[in-house]
Amino acid sequence: MSKKQIPRFKNEDEEREFWATHDSTEYLDWAKAKRAVFPNLKPSTKSISLRLPESILVGLKMLANKRDVPYQSLLKVFLAEKVEEELRPRRVKIA
């Protein structure tokens, strides 16, 4: 079966709108797709200002020092782990 031709887009917003309203299987043969690997791709980041009690910051710096990592990096790891844990579907216990 012949696939439809993907139109040319003026910008990313136009392309985003197109794919949000069209089925990609009409345009692409996913059976021939290959997994892409982007080893140097880094997620975009945004700077924020965060006020912490000094005791938490001191504890964080102590933990980071023990692990020989910057405390900001350790804080990101802790936050990522907690966010993932909170977003994970909960298992319901049946008594």
pLDDT by residue (tens digit) across 16-40? 999 999 999 999 998 989 988 888 8
> Token match 């887009």: residue?
9
Query: Taking the mean position of all CA atoms in its chain, how far away is CA 83?
Result: 11
The pLDDT of residue 41 is: 87
- Most distant pair of Cα atoms in the chain: their distance: 65
For 28-31, which contacts have Cβ atoms below 8 Å and span 24 or more sequence positions? 28/3, 29/3
Whether residue 1 is predicted with pLDDT greater than 70 in this model: the reply is no
How far is it, in rounded angstroms, from Cα 59 to Cα 63? 6
Dihedrals φ, ψ of 23, to 5°? -85, 120
pLDDT (tens digit per residue) in 59-75: 999 999 999 999 999 99
pLDDT at 94 > cutoff 80: no
Distance CA 39, CA 25 (A): 27
Residue 93 pLDDT > 80, yes or no? no
Write down the mean pLDDT value for the chain. Answer: 92
